[in-house]
Amino acid sequence: MKPKVVITDSVSNDLSIELSMLEGCADVILGVGKTPEELKELLRDADAVLNCYTQLSEEMIEGMQRCKIIARSGIGVDTIPVGRATQKGIKVTNVPDYCIDEVADHTLALMLALRRGVDQGAVRARQGIWDLKGLTPIHRNAGCNLGLIGFGNIAQAVAKRARTIKFEIIVHDPFLSADAARAHGVKQLALDELLSQVDILTLHVPLNEQTRHMINDAALCQMKPGAIVINTARGGLIDTSALFKALDERRIAGAALDVLEHEPPHDLEAISRTRNLILTPHAAFYSIESMEELRTKSVAQIVQVLNGDEPQYWVNKNA
């Protein structure tokens, strides 16, 4: 009997890549659109699970009788109770290297759009206002402090791009050694120090209980009035209400968000009127090429495990 692979959902409506890679080695069951109870039943006798946006519960994991691997089509694994999966002996995988260039490019685009008044200027020009009077004060980028919270693959790619614009790079990452910081030519600071010094703050850490709302009212109060905040990582890293309040009270100069705590937001029109805020619809990861890479690599983890091999991107291997 062939192994059973359940696809809970996908980044694409077209599953041709997934089905072609699993053809012949597994029976594929689609869980798209199922209720939590229906999905729990489908997962009970699954040998492997391909997951993207659907939140898997601990109860779902507990009910799995044969599962060897849960492969996430994404970098983060916050849709998977990794601890419970580990207890059950289930391998959890992700794709940590699929959209590095796309997210780094998008991050840089957002910070430059804010710093150079591109978004405001474009709106005013379309309204027939051809002057600089209403734009946020624009300062020279060369020499300003770019603060990166987290210094993994994407943050390193952002830093590389930012150096060409003559930004000064400062970093907060508890897992970054002093030797690694020196090798990358970045200055490692405590979080409080970094917040007080940044002109641009950009976030590049996973969402977990330690990082949720790490940018809250207290953190924002430590920042300079001319600072801006960029988030292309996870919406829950920022207390959104506190951020919008800081923007409205002009305690910081601006923010650009590709991710929000709740997507889509309940009142997008009202949020979009927030002073000096740029929103993009969770698009930083996207390109045609990155989607093909993501889908191929995530399914490859399942194929490797079903063939008796270790997966390449084994998140809980040493847990």
Q: Quickly tell me which residue has 């705590």 as its tokens.
A: 261
| Interval 14-67: pLDDT, tens | 999 999 999 989 999 999 889 999 999 999 999 999 999 999 999 999 999 999
| Interval 198-252: pLDDT, tens | 999 999 998 888 999 999 999 999 999 999 999 999 999 999 999 999 999 999 9
The yes-or-no answer to whether 4-98+288-306 and 100-279 have a common fold is: yes
* Phi, psi of 6, rounded to the nearest 5 degrees: -100, 125
What positions carry a catalytic annotation? 234, 263, 282
CA R_g for the chain: 22
| Distance, CA of 202 to CA of 153 (rounded, Å) | 14
| Interval 239-262: pLDDT, tens | 999 999 999 999 999 999 999 999
**In this structure, are residues 72 and 94 in contact, taking their beta carbons and an 8 Å threshold?**
yes
Domain ranges in the chain?
Answer: 4-98+288-306, 100-279
In the chain the beta strands, taken as DSSP E runs, fall at 4-7, 27-30, 48-51, 69-72, 91-93, 145-149, 168-172, 187-188, 200-203, 228-231, 254-257, 277-279
Q: Provide the 10 A C-beta neighbour count for residue 265.
A: 16
CATH number for 100-279: choose from 3.30.70.1140, 3.30.710.10, 3.40.190.80, 3.40.50.720. 3.40.50.720
Q: Provide the 10 A C-beta neighbour count for residue 21.
A: 18
Q: How much is the average pLDDT of 2-9?
A: 96
Q: Report which of 58, 48, 102, 110 is spatially closest to residue 80, judged by C-alpha positions.
A: 58
Q: Per the confidence metrics, is the pTM higher than 0.75? A: yes
Angular region, 91: left φ>0, alpha ψ -120 to 50, beta rest:
beta
Cα(first)–Cα(last) distance of the chain, in Å? 31
Strand partners, 49: 6, 70
**Residue 164 contacts by C-beta under 8 Å, 6 or more apart in sequence?**
none
Instruction: Count CA within 13 A, CB hemisphere, residue 153.
Output: 11
CATH number for 4-98+288-306: choose from 3.40.718.10, 3.40.50.720, 3.40.50.970, 3.30.930.10. 3.40.50.720
| Interval 66-81: pLDDT, tens | 999 999 999 889 899 9
